[in-house]
Structure 1
Amino acid sequence: MNDLPPLRDMIAEHGLRADKGFGQHFLLDLNLTAKIASLCGDVSDAALIEVGPGPGGLTRPLLALGPQKMVVIEMDARFIPVLEQTGEAYETPFEIVEGDALKADEAALIGDGPAVIASNLPYNVGTPLLIKWLKANPLYWRRMVLMFQKEVADRVVAPVGSKAYGRLAILTAAVASARLALKAPARAFTPPPKVDSAVVVLDPLPEDKRFADLEALEIVTESAFGQRRKTLRKSLGIAAGKAGTSSESLLETAGIDPGARAETIDPNGFFRLAEAWRAAKG
């Protein structure tokens, strides 16, 4: 790391600017990036995956953790030279994949062994990337340290009954425990976004505690929260239709009051509802 020029100098040298079209905001606060990296824990026996590294503000402290291997996935070709320069300054095997992370096969990229995913996620793809990683089968990651817009982070960790509680919290709870680890004010970024950000740490549940049918869970939660002001008797109509049954039948099988609203049902209730949907679907 001592061989590298200051990050701002490298950005200036390569003429790099954040591209709003990619949802880019450079994270240059060294104290903040060090704190984010520390949330990964001991990675000496694991591979590290970073999506959207940009000029490498978080990449440097992640490499300093000394993982067995590090893979960065970057869609913007402008950053490849500066990332190559960064990787050459460390002993850790370092691979740059230029492409769309939504299409990447991370499990194949890391090979055998566990992985930790740590990223300041581009705002425009944070939610679909999280869902993609939650649905990974088999689950190859043992921790994820992810920065989202604060509003999205709140939705990931939201408890039942809260305003932010919905589909994202339930899908997350099916696979992992999640906690809000730290907040990042807009001023920590260049250029500053219009909203604050926050880092969420996700650890997978034991395999026997996970809910496996995320496809069914996505369908029932999308239907239920698509009309969250309505009772489940009414809001589940779309999901019930896909299974060739009625909302009342699904809710009766799941042991849920048809007059309840979606935000009052805890994740376990939605897991039962997803099981009922799958059974009706056949």
Structure 2
Amino acid sequence: MKPDLPPLREVIARHGLSASKALGQNFLFDEQLLDRIAAIPGSLEGKAVLEVGPGPGGLTRALLRAGARVTAIEMDRRCLPALAELEEAFPGQLRILQGDAMAMDHDELMGEPYAILSNLPYNVGTALFTGWLSGESWPPRWTSLTLMFQQEVAQRIVAQPGTGAYGRLAVLAQWRTQAKMAMKVHRSAFTPPPKVMSAIVHVVPGEAPEGVSAKVLSRVTEAAFGQRRKMLRQSLKAMPGAVEALEALGIDPQRRAETLSVAEFVALAKRLTR
């Protein structure tokens, strides 16, 4: 028997909550949309889920309704009473932690395989995402990432070489995961409506190429795309052995970063990992 919950707008009004610009908050009220988001990774019945930045608990409700065991990390103390009501409505299903998700070890916190579903706060979304992608040990403890971003960021995650959106984020996301755009979300779905459209990206771990350090790949992409208008021989010259590695791999050092495929970046990082 699922508990009968008051409408989200009512909860927010009762607790005097408003979206904080400083924390990159935008609230989603459409319960049907939230249920659709919670369904993207498949059945969550009995599964451990990490949610970052639940705010007043819109997506949290949908995850709990789907039968997930949710750990929610919220920085904004104002939202804790609204979340505590959900904890009471779904006994034993919700654990609320107040604090900065960027400063926590999520694997240690969860202690078991877990899915990550979040309408990420815009100001830390990319940093959290690259953190989840950058672990040296693979496969990761997380089984999937289902994350809401500004549409422009989502496009950068799934972008193909040679396109304007292709960059470091695409390489880091695609070298050992499958990333796809799962759903676009209109700005009017939020309160207050952000200036931009949003989209949900769904990421599942894939096979990791052997002999490649995630740290080295991260450094290579940072250097290459840090000066994306320059030729690789220029942007990579500060990395010892990088230009020589390009030549050894038959990659023309006069090319620009956005023309290299994910596989070429992986080959370059592999050579520099040795």
3-state SS, counterpart of residue 201 of structure 2: strand
Distance 1:212 1:269 in 2: 12
Distance 2:97 2:48 in 1: 14
Per-residue CA deviations over 1:64-93 (Å, capped at 9, x if unaligned) read 1112x2100001111111101012212452
Q: Unaligned 5+ residue runs, structure 1?
A: none
Which one of 255, 260, 272 corresponds to residue 260 of structure 1? 255
1:261 is matched by which residue type in structure 2?
Answer: R
Distance 2:210 2:6 in 1: 45
Q: Cα distance, 1:174 vs. partner? A: 2.1
Distance 1:210 1:25 in 2: 40
Distance 1:18 1:99 in 2: 17
3-state SS, counterpart of residue 6 of structure 2: coil
2:87 is matched by which residue type in structure 1?
Answer: G
Could you tell me which residue of structure 2 aligns to residue 154 of structure 1?
155
CA, structure 1 residues 164+84, in 2 after alignment: closer, same or farther (shift >3 Å)? same
2:80 is matched by which residue type in structure 1?
Answer: I
Could you tell me which residue of structure 2 aligns to residue 110 of structure 1?
110
Distance 2:16 2:100 in 1: 23
Q: Cα distance, 1:250 vs. partner? A: 2.3
Could you tell me which residue of structure 1 aligns to residue 219 of structure 2?
219
Do 1:175 and 1:210's aligned partners in 2 also have CA atoms closer than 8 Å?
no
Do 1:70 and 1:92's aligned partners in 2 also have CA atoms closer than 8 Å?
no
Task: List structure 1 runs of 4+ shifted beyond 6 angstroms.
Answer: none
Does residue 140 of structure 1 match 2:141? yes
- Using the TM superposition, name which of 177-186 and 132-141 deviates more: 132-141
1:157 is matched by which residue type in structure 2?
Answer: V
Q: Cα distance, 1:213 vs. partner? A: 1.4
Q: Cα distance, 1:45 vs. partner? A: 4.7
Distance 2:34 2:96 in 1: 20
CA, structure 1 residues 32+266, in 2 after alignment: closer, same or farther (shift >3 Å)? same
Q: Cα distance, 1:210 vs. partner? A: 7.0
Do 1:48 and 1:115's aligned partners in 2 also have CA atoms closer than 8 Å?
yes
Could you tell me which residue of structure 2 aligns to residue 70 of structure 1?
70
What is the count of residue pairs matched by the alignment? 271
Could you tell me which residue of structure 2 aligns to residue 24 of structure 1?
25
Per-residue CA deviations over 1:49-71 (Å, capped at 9, x if unaligned) read 1000000111111111112x210
Q: Cα distance, 1:44 vs. partner? A: 2.6
Q: Cα distance, 1:17 vs. partner? A: 0.6
Q: Cα distance, 1:35 vs. partner? A: 1.1
Identical amino acids, percent of aligned pairs: 48
- Using the TM superposition, name which of 178-187 and 100-109 deviates more: 100-109
Normalising by structure 2, we get a TM-score of: 0.94
Q: Cα distance, 1:222 vs. partner? A: 1.0
3-state SS, counterpart of residue 198 of structure 1: strand
Q: Cα distance, 1:212 vs. partner? A: 4.8
Do 2:211 and 2:270's aligned partners in 1 also have CA atoms closer than 8 Å?
no
1:209-248 map, 5 Å? 209=209, 212-238=212-238, 240=239, 243=240, 245=241, 247-248=242-243
2:194 is matched by which residue type in structure 1?
Answer: P
Q: Unaligned 5+ residue runs, structure 2?
A: none
Could you tell me which residue of structure 2 aligns to residue 37 of structure 1?
38
CA RMSD of aligned residues (A): 1.6
Per-residue CA deviations over 1:194-228 (Å, capped at 9, x if unaligned) read 1010000001003x547751111111111111121
Could you tell me which residue of structure 2 aligns to residue 127 of structure 1?
126
Could you tell me which residue of structure 1 aligns to residue 101 of structure 2?
101
